[in-house]
Amino acid sequence: MATTTALPEIHPDLRSFLSKKSHQLLIGGQRVDAASGKTFKTFNPADGEAIAEVAEADKADVDAAVKAARKALEGPWSKMSPVEREKVLHRIADLVEKHADELAQLESLDNGKTIREAKNGDLPLCVALFRYFGGWPTKIHGDTTPVSVPYYPGAKFLHYTVREPVGVVGVIVPWNFPLLMAAERLAPALACGNTVVIKPAEQTPLSALRLGELLLEAGLPEGVVNVVPGFGPTAGAALASHPDVDKITFTGSTEVGREIVKASAGNLKKLSLELGGKSPNIVFADADLEAAAKGMFMGIFYNQGQTCSAGSRVFVERSKFDELVGALAERAKTIRQGPGLDPKTQMGPLVSAEQKKRVLSYVESGKKEGAKILAGGDEAPGKGYFVKPTVFSEVKDSMKIAQEEIFGPVVCVMPFDSPEEVVTRANATPYGLVAGVWTKDIKKAHRLTQSIKAGVIWVNCYQFVDAAAPWGGFKQSGYGREKSELAIEAYTQVKSVWIDLN
Ligand code: ADP
């Protein structure tokens, strides 16, 4: 089904991918219809038109995918040497890089994000993740341990540890960075020798399916990665509760995160959860104000504000409040909104009609609770799911818009008077994913990084990530860390081996 939107210079490979009548599931290296024969549509958020018809996985398909993943785990994948695994991961990186333009367009089309962000952010990061984790298979090792046994003095043992894969990993990803989130989980999972069943978000299933094709082309054995698009309460829940899945890595809302915890209890799956945020971005009067202004803007409006790390609570020291907040509101009013695929667009639509409704209901709640709108505050005209970038001032910390994750282009700006006060207020939500601090005073910066409860803190910068830097949250923002060496721990389990030498 072709989209009705005029697609300027659409990549020929993307055109051919989209021309498929229906996009099938990927199970055991085969493209198959859902057992039920059901399909669902995915929509272009820029105009609400259907882009493609996708097979809708449910319990039976998840069962088949888990079976295929188990077979691959016990079969060819575990027999592949670490150096061969590295080669496969590097070939995946090369293929994603080769197809970056096509994948960026696909991501922009399905999710609504601007082509500039997809091309300069999502895609290079995807490649970097496969390259970084591509270096790990030959470096994952255990240790030998000098053991002494108190109740057996003088006894001699050789003790060593081995790091083994966790097993079959269920990957449940959201729609805000569909390909990037998939890569962030797949790369370490594969580096550690696991097999995967991935359920992309129902709003954005296409890039994971296209990635599935590239994985096979890269020489990944059949069944090592299985792709089962479908809905959360059906396919997602079936994966989260599956008795033969060893681990779930989930990125999404804190609310669904709780469901995942409950569903995983049956066979006590290992869990990595990356959940919501309501992150503070704190600007002191002594900061480089030009850089801080850019950081405030990017912090909230990147990806239409649909990032778990959105700097959605901006605190500005009172003496500079009017100046900085005025500039932020003026800039918000001039953002050019349009289809993500149009290179001139600065902000695309939200991902879905539902998300637009949700964000606008928060805007209404802010108005009702007495916050003042400095910019936006409304939907933007057009058929797509557009919401104007919105800046709220006169916000109280207790208001719903200051406490709950909105996941849209809506920012609360609030003045503060002292570092102690701002730290207390910054920490006063159930979340603790990221925080930003802007100051030229190095002691103040360090004092704040020590007292803010967040998994990632940026000083004089915002929204920076790298495959080598740990990512994850404090408090109700999640469990565990993704990316970096810590992901190697998260996707392996340690075996402790004793050899009696007596
Ligand atoms: P959002 O609210 O932003 O759409 P969600 O947390 O609902 O984010 O969704 C993130 C991912 O979790 C999606 O792939 C979605 O299909 C999946 N999901 C939603 N509900 C469940 C559930 N009950 N069990 C498992 N996965 C779910």
Residue 360 and residue 459 share a domain: yes
- Measuring from atom 24 of ligand 1, which residue has the nearest CA? 237
- Measuring from atom 27 of ligand 1, which residue has the nearest CA? 232
pLDDT in tens, 249-271: 999 999 999 999 999 999 999 99
Which atom of ligand 1 lies closest to the CA of 255?
6
Q: Which of 436, 397, 435 is nearest to 415 (CA)?
A: 397
Sole residue written with tokens 């021309």: 19
Contact assessment for residue 25 and residue 31, using Cβ atoms and an 8 Å cutoff: yes
Q: Which of 161, 227, 188, 201 is nearest to 45 (CA)?
A: 201
Strands 39-43 and 456-459: unpaired
Residue 490 and residue 371 share a domain: no
Helix (H) or strand (E) holding 270: strand 270-274
pLDDT at 369: 97
| Predicted confidence (pLDDT) at residue 489 exceeds the cutoff of 70 | yes
Answer yes or no: is 38 within a domain.
yes
Q: How confident is the model at residue 3 (pLDDT cuts 50, 70, 90)?
A: very low
| Predicted confidence (pLDDT) at residue 91 exceeds the cutoff of 70 | yes
- Does the Cβ of 388 fall within 6 Å of ligand 1? no
- Does the Cβ of 256 fall within 6 Å of ligand 1? yes
pLDDT at 382: 84
- Measuring from atom 2 of ligand 1, which residue has the nearest CA? 253
Residue 396 and residue 260 share a domain: no
- Measuring from atom 18 of ligand 1, which residue has the nearest CA? 232
- Does the Cβ of 201 fall within 6 Å of ligand 1? yes
Total domain count for the chain? 2
Residue 375 and residue 286 share a domain: yes
Neighbours of 120 (CB within 10 A): 12
| Predicted confidence (pLDDT) at residue 344 exceeds the cutoff of 60 | yes
Beta bridge partners of 42: 52
308 is a catalytic site residue: yes
Residue 313 and residue 195 share a domain: no
Could you give the strand order of the β-sheet that contains 478-479, starting from the edge strand earlier in sequence? 30-32, 25-27, 225-227, 195-199, 168-172, 247-251, 270-274, 478-479
The domain spanning residue 387 has which CATH number? 3.40.309.10
Residue 434 and residue 318 share a domain: yes
* Percentage of the chain lying above the pLDDT 70 cut: 98
pLDDT at 7: 53
The domain spanning residue 170 has which CATH number? 3.40.605.10
Answer yes or no: is 239 within a domain.
yes
- Ligand 1 centroid to Cα of residue 174, in Å, is 7
| Predicted confidence (pLDDT) at residue 296 exceeds the cutoff of 80 | yes
- Among the options 56, 102, 222, 274, which is catalytic? 274
- Ligand 1 centroid to Cα of residue 495, in Å, is 33
Residue 286 and residue 271 share a domain: no
- Among the options 56, 184, 222, 308, which is catalytic? 308
Residue 55 and residue 160 share a domain: yes
Amino acid letter for position 53: E
What value does the mean pLDDT of the chain take?
A: 96
Q: How confident is the model at residue 345 (pLDDT cuts 50, 70, 90)?
A: very high
Answer yes or no: is 1 within a domain.
no
Residue 284 and residue 264 share a domain: no
| Cα–Cα distance measured from residue 371 to residue 135, given in angstroms and rounded to the nearest whole number | 50
pLDDT in tens, 114-154: 999 999 999 999 999 999 999 999 999 999 999 999 999 99
Residue 354 and residue 255 share a domain: no
Which parts of 337-416 are beta strand (E)? 372-375, 390-393, 410-416
402's CB contacts (< 8 A; 6+ apart) are 278, 313, 395, 396, 412, 414
- Measuring from atom 15 of ligand 1, which residue has the nearest CA? 232
Answer yes or no: is 6 within a domain.
no
Answer yes or no: is 373 within a domain.
yes
What's the mean pLDDT in 26-47?
98
Contact assessment for residue 59 and residue 234, using Cβ atoms and an 8 Å cutoff: yes
pTM, two decimal places: 0.96
Q: Which domain holds residue 268?
A: 12-275+478-496
| Predicted confidence (pLDDT) at residue 20 exceeds the cutoff of 90 | no
| Cα–Cα distance measured from residue 187 to residue 215, given in angstroms and rounded to the nearest whole number | 11
Answer yes or no: is 158 within a domain.
yes
Residue 248 and residue 330 share a domain: no
Residue 348 and residue 262 share a domain: no
pLDDT at 6: 52
- Does the Cβ of 276 fall within 6 Å of ligand 1? no
Answer yes or no: is 270 within a domain.
yes
Checking 87-90 for CB contacts under 8 A at 24+ apart, the result is 87/219, 88/190, 88/218, 88/219, 88/220, 89/130, 89/131, 89/133, 89/134, 89/137, 89/187, 89/190, 89/191, 90/130, 90/131, 90/134
Answer yes or no: is 501 within a domain.
no
What's the mean pLDDT in 174-182?
98
